[in-house]
Structure formats: structure tokens, C-alpha cells
Amino acid sequence: MPADPPKPPPLPLPASRLSRMTRLGGLATRLAGGVAAGGARELAQGRRPRWNDLLLTPANARRLADELSRMRGAAMKMGQLLSMDAGELLPPELAQILSRLRAEANPMPPQQLKTVLTAAWGPDWLRRFQRFEVRPLAAASIGQVHRALTRDGRDLAIKVQYPGVRRSIDSDVTNVGALLRLSGLMPRGLDLDALLAEARRQLHEEADYPREGACLRRFGALLEEAPDFRVPALAPDLTTDCVLAMSHEPGHPVEDLVTAPQEERDRVATLLLGLALRELFEFGLMQTDPNFANYRYQPETGRIVLLDFGATRSFPAPFRALCREMLRAGQSGEREALRAAAQGFGLLEARTPPGLEKTLLDLLTLALSPLRTTGEFDFGRSDLAQRLNAAGLALAEERAELPLPPVDALYVQRKFGGLYLLATRLRARVDLQALTAPYLTPPAPAEDSQ
């Protein structure tokens, strides 16, 4: 397995709402200044400047991504959510800028970390541990993870939330939304307010560590008899509003399996896609963040470690029934069945123009085409992702004519889209018809009432 990449250096986190608003406001000013200077140069050379070309310079791209990374919290998470959730709706230039935010964040300096833990556990917190590693195992948008050994011998991973994250969510989302509007790059008709409202709701849930601890326990119980998966065990005595403690489960990044034998790559991709189907149709409860970092691989046992349950979402039975109808329509390839499923989701309305309806149904037919593959679908040899991106951008041009899909559908799309990308990275071959076959038939009423 290759070594993990070097960690970013520590960087103080702007914790107050005022300091964060000032930084975002300063970023907008610097972007606007760069646009003005670039426009003046273009005019001086006798060329008429284009707004998008002036804004999307390499320098401005670095400014935007780097500043959101430094701020961490909701500002950085917003960029991650938009780059993953609305990738097919955003211009490639903006999606590429935002995708930089999925890299690991800068951790807090040790003194800031000590302040947070003292507030959570009291001034004598170090006495609880034989060892507490100040250097984090990982740092993300909302918190960073440290390894620790307690006095009673528990090997733990401790997630520490950045100071001020919860207080700054609403203002961060508002200010990032203003930056996106300033860019002038949002597709015509895209309901940015609806996306921002959902991002705000999700961020409040992800910053609720007691809620995440409950989800961690729930998934541990659901997968207790699943030998191929490992879910960390919650340490409730050390979990607080801003600290989440759980057992440390060693493993390598799942994408390191690119060098593993074909059979093992196929097995892991099949397991993860099969788990997502179980989450949707059996559990009615899904971990909706498909970030590759949420999956670790244990080469000694072949088990997959599942991490980060902050984005866990429950789905009601009627929505799952609609997903089942879409699955069946996708596998059958019947146009009328697909149209009925799209209408059930609210993607098509009576007033939808015929040409736009055809474009949408063509896109859905393309997206679900792997389900019609007999035998193994070869993710590594497929160009479906590129064709879907082109079709999605074409549809975005007419977005004003289409209603936004239900929020639940966006979460399911994000999960399976992320797993598709992972299976493509692993060049895996998966028998999708065999995986989906158990879920084509409606369950018994008692099962579907969850």
C-alpha cells in the first residue's frame, strides 16, 4: 500500500462570526479587484473582456479555494457540498475550483486544540489518557481526529470540532451564497436558495456530535452480523457537544486498492454498492456522504471500515417505494415506466415542454444503463461518467423549465454517484443486476413500514 500524502501544516481557525464575515468579505473584494484589473488590461489591449474569463483566472481560483480551506467549518463544507451535489449543474470551471476543497484541511494549532478540549473535558483532561497524540490523524471541514489511549486501555479516535463552527453555520452559508451569486456562474434558473437552505440544515446536523454518536451506534447494531464491515464503537463517556470519541479502527485509504488484484477490487466495490442498496431499501437509513475518506480498508482481514456518520439521513417508506420504481424502470428500459417514475419524483410535470421531457428521459435512461448490463458491468472501461457530464450540462441550460428534484433524491444521487466514481477509480467489475435483483420486488407491508 502506498504511504499517505503529507499533512497540511497547522493554521489558526477564525472562530468568531465577525472574523469569518470579514474574511469572506475581504475575499469578495480581492476577487472583484482582480476582475477590475484584468478588465482594464483587456480594454487597454483593444479586447472586450468577458466576465467569466476575468473571474476564473488561475490566481482567483487559488484565492477562492485557499481562503475557504483556511476558514474550514461551514464555508469549506459548502464548497464540498456544491462540488459533489451540484457538479452536473455547475460549469466545469467552477466545479473544478470547488473540488479542491475536498482535500484534507489545515488542523488547528496545539494551543487552540487545548482550549477546545479544556472547555469540553475540564482542565485536568490529560489525566484520562496514557497517551494523546496532538498531531491529528486527519483534518476535515468541521473537525479533526486524534488518536488517544485511555488510562483503562481503550485505543480511541477522537473527533474534535473546530471552535465556533456551529455558531457560524448560518452566516457562512449566507456569505458563500453571496460569493456564488457574485461569480455570475450559477446556471440560469437554478434555485440557489433551496440548495443553500438544505446545506444549512445538513451542516447543523453534521455539527451535532451527540446525533452522530447515536447514528454510529445504530449502524453498528445494523451491521453487527456483517463480517465484511467494521463500524467503530462509541465511547459515550468522552463524547460531548463538540467531541466525538470512538474506537480507533486501523486501515488504509480505500482508493489504495487500485493496485490490488482484480478480484479484490471487484469484491470491495460490490460490497459498498450492496451496502448502499441495503441502507436505502432495508434500513431506510443511509450515510449519504460518499467521500472516499469515509471508507478504510484492512488488508489483513479484507474488512471495510465505515467512518463519519454525521450526514446520516432517514428515508420514509413512500420515497423508498419511488426509488424502487425508478430502479425497476431503469433495469427494464421501458420508456413509459421511466416517465411514470420521473413524474412520481416530481421531475416531470404536466407543463414540462415535450423537448425538455425527452432530454430528461434520455439522461435518466443513460444514467441507469449499467443496470441493463448482462453479467458484470466494467466500470474501468466505461465512458459513462463523461457522457453523463455532457448530458447534465446540456440539461442545465434548460434548468429554469424543470423543478428541483426532492431533497431526498439529491442525497441518494450523491451517494450512488460517489460510489460510481469510486468503482471507476478501482476499475471494478460488478454484476449490478444480481445486486439489485432482491430490491425489485416490494417488501412485505410490515418491512416497508419502517
Domain ranges in the chain?
Answer: 17-102+171-187, 109-161+208-249, 250-450
Q: Using one digit for the tens of pLDDT, what is the confidence trace for 52-69?
A: 443 455 555 556 666 665
Confirm if 90 and 82 have CB atoms less than 8 A apart. yes
Confirm if 144 and 159 have CB atoms less than 8 A apart. yes
pLDDT at 406: 81
Tell me the β-bridge partners of 253.
296
What is the mean pLDDT of the segment spanning 371-391?
Answer: 87
- Helix 73-85 with 17-44: angle, nearest 10 deg: 60
pLDDT at 104 over 60: no
pLDDT at 84: 47
Please name the fold of domain 109-161+208-249.
Phosphorylase Kinase; domain 1 (3.30.200)
pLDDT at 348: 84
* Range with top average pLDDT, 179-183, 291-295, 319-323, 387-391: 319-323
Alpha-carbon distance 23 to 67, whole Å?
8
**166 band by pLDDT with thresholds 50, 70 and 90:** confident
| Residue with the larger pLDDT of the pair 86 and 428 | 428
Torsion of the alpha carbons at 119, 122, 127 and 128, rounded to the nearest 10? -80
Specify the DSSP class assigned to residue 234. B
The set of catalytic residues is 289
| Residue with the larger pLDDT of the pair 216 and 65 | 216
Non-local CB neighbours of 239 within 8 Å, separated by 6+ positions = 209, 210, 213, 245
**180 band by pLDDT with thresholds 50, 70 and 90:** low
Look over the chain and give the mean of its residue pLDDT values, rounded to a whole number. Answer: 80
Helix (H) or strand (E) holding 99: helix 92-99
pLDDT at 150: 98
pLDDT at 6: 57
Q: Which of 119-123, 221-225, 277-281, 390-394 is predicted least confidently?
A: 390-394
pLDDT at 268: 98
pLDDT at 79: 54
